[in-house]
Every structure is written in structure tokens, then in C-alpha cells.
Amino acid sequence: MDDEGEGFTQFHNLVVDFDSDLPELERIYNRVEGQLPKQICVAIDSIEALAEKYGIPEGRIINMLHKDLVENTNTYLVIVLEKHDRLDLDYYVDGVILLEHGEVDGRAFREIVIQKLRGCETRHHRYLYTLTAGRMKAFGPYGIRFPEPGGTWSVPDGGVNGRLSTGSNQLDHLLGGGLMEGAVNLLEV
């Protein structure tokens, strides 16, 4: 290992005793240490899996990672939780983003919900996203756009009086000359 002794990794003034019980975390610490003083991002998926594997409470692992990596090495830390029922863990983090999925009218959808993003204004907190071709792509906020008030337009020649052409002779014939002028027309296909 290093000068501090077997089973120890040192960051600045911090010494963490792994005692070879947490090899995944030891590898993370070694990688971060190897990149210092550069600022890097570490993603851990999932914290529940580590907690279950080693019998250590999730909060304790998160607290240790936060102190050691975020505070002492200025590392960006992304922690994935499988379920979001631990509100007591929220105070450790700067952001909470949920990835949800559901179904509407037999069609699946995925949605990102921004619950907390410290220091950032969130005008929209829900975004749809896709995982097409193995890549995550979020869609921007959507809004209803109303057409600008337009000017006059001319009716094509050859129409039946009181009717407007659809642009399809066959459809105009089925509709008795086209759509009724000044009416709401509904075509159900």
C-alpha cells in the first residue's frame, strides 16, 4: 500500500482504515488520489448494494464518502439509490434527481424529476427522456404554441360554394365538396 501501513489510504490529513473489507471503496480512493489535484467525478451505483454486501448502513457509507471525497479532495460525487424512501439522506447532497417510469394509454414513458438542486433555479422540474441506442436523451420543456394572428388567405378555385377543399379530390368528394366553411370539422380515421 503506502507509507501509512497496510490497509490504509491517505488523503491530505485524512487516513481511512479499509482493513481490506471494502475493496470497491479502496479502489475509488486510490483512483481519486492518483488524479489529485485535478477535480474528478465519481459515480457509485448503487449505494444500497454496497451497504447490503458489507452490512454497513447507507448513511454511514455516504457520510464517509462525503467527508473523504467531497470535502477533502473536492471530488464531484454521484450516488445512485435504487429507491428514494430515505429522506434522512437528502441533507448530505446538493441534488436529488429521480428517474421514474410509467404508462399512459398503453404507452411507456420515462421521466426525470428534479426534487432538489442546491444553488440552481429550476423553472421546470419534470422532463421526459429516452434511452434510445443506449444513450440517455432528455427532452426540453414543452409548451403550447398558439399560431400568430395571420392575415387573409385566398380560397383555391374550383371549390363548392360554402365548402373549403381539403387538397384531396377524393376526400372532397366524400365530404360533399370539402370541409364546411365556418364550422368545426372533425375527421375520425
Query: What pTM did the predictor assign?
Result: 0.54
The domain spans of the chain are 1-93, 94-130, 157-184
pLDDT of amino acid 109:
92
pLDDT of amino acid 86:
64
- Tally the residues of the chain: 189
pLDDT of amino acid 3:
45
Q: What is the mean pLDDT of each run of 10 residues along the chain (189 residues)?
A: 44 46 87 91 86 86 88 87 72 82 92 86 89 89 78 69 85 87 84
Residue type, 149: P
pLDDT of amino acid 13:
42
pLDDT of amino acid 159:
66
